[in-house]
Chains A and B, each alone.
Chain A
Amino acid sequence: DAGVTQSPTHLIKTRGQHVTLRCSPISGHKSVSWYQQVLGQGPQFIFQYYEKEERGRGNFPDRFSARQFPNYSSELNVNALLLGDSALYLCASSLYLAGGGDTQYFGPGTRLTVL
């Protein structure tokens, strides 16, 4: 079975631009979470969606937004890019809301570089 997939793999943008990152969860998984991993640090939680509704938001500015589609895939949008947005963006899916200790399975990530 296919794991979590993300696109694109790599992306180079300039300051002020907008970016959209995409994620397809494991088949049957209804929860998708987004994380930002800056080089040398652990992933930092951005958003969680379950059944197309936002269920959690981390400490990120309003320039970051996301949505989940009826097929449970998800998009992460970042407006007005800053140099500090350069990071690996990870998508994770789980079967439920993870309240039962569900494992979150991570995708390969999108490497975003902002110049």
Chain B
Amino acid sequence: ELKVEQNPLFLSMQEGKNYTIYCNYSTTSDRLYWYRQDPGKSLESLFVLLSNGAVKQEGRLMASLDTKARLSTLHITAAVHDLSATYFCAVDPGSQGNLIFGKGTKLSVKP
């Protein structure tokens, strides 16, 4: 059974600190997606990683993909309160658009 595991599931951090969210998956997938979800809202696309070694950055967030290790990371630099949300990673093992999501990491950034 394909599994997508995120850790931590809950993360409370102070403003200005750095932290990394990890996403491990159990089958081959050349593409990995990161989404953000605010409470009661839908999913917002953050990054699409399409190849081994891919790295993308947007503001204080940077995502990377290691397909050999079946691992993606989402690194947060100098966190601010506005980054508080739940972050999901998802893989597309059949390259058919049937995304398999992790359980999400609920991030809370406190002053």
Q: Given A101-B31, A101-B48, A103-B48, is A45 in contact with B99 using a C-beta cutoff of 8 Å?
A: yes
Which size class do B's interface residues fall under?
20 to 34
Which residues of B sit under 8 angstroms from A35, Cβ to Cβ? 99
**When the two chains form the complex, which single residue of A41, A104, A107, A108 contacts B99, counting CB atoms closer than 8 Å?**
A104
B42 within 8 A of A: yes
Binds A, one of B14-22, B70-78, B101-109: B101-109
Complex interface bits, B77-102 against A, C-beta within 8 A gives 1, otherwise 0: 00000000000101010111111111
Q: Which of A63-71, A72-80, A92-100 lines the interface with chain B? A: A92-100
Q: Tell me, rounded to whole Å, the shortest Cβ–Cβ distance linking A99 to chain B.
A: 5
A contact residues around B35 at 8 Å (CB)? 106
Asked if A25 lies at the interface with its beta carbon under 8 angstroms from chain B, I say: no
Q: How far is the CB of A61 from chain B (nearest CB, A)?
A: 17
Decide if B57 is an interface residue (CB 8 Å cutoff): no
Kindly list chain B residues whose C-beta atoms are within 8 Å of the C-beta of A109.
42
Closest Cβ of chain B to A46, distance in Å, is 10
- B45 is an interface residue with CB less than 8 A from chain A: yes
Within the complex, what minimum Cβ distance (angstroms) separates A69 from chain B? 19
A44: Cβ under 8 A from any B Cβ: yes
A16 CB–B CB distance under 8 Å? no
* A32 → B minimal CB distance (Å): 10
- Contact: A104 with B97, CB < 8 Å? yes
> Is there an interface contact between B96 and A48, defined as CB atoms closer than 8 Å?
yes
Given contacts A31-B97, A41-B104, A56-B96, 7 further A-B contacts (CB under 8 A): A41-B103, A42-B103, A43-B101, A44-B101, A101-B31, A104-B99, A105-B45
Residues of B within 8 A of A (CB): 4, 31, 33, 35, 41-45, 48, 50, 88, 90, 92, 94-104
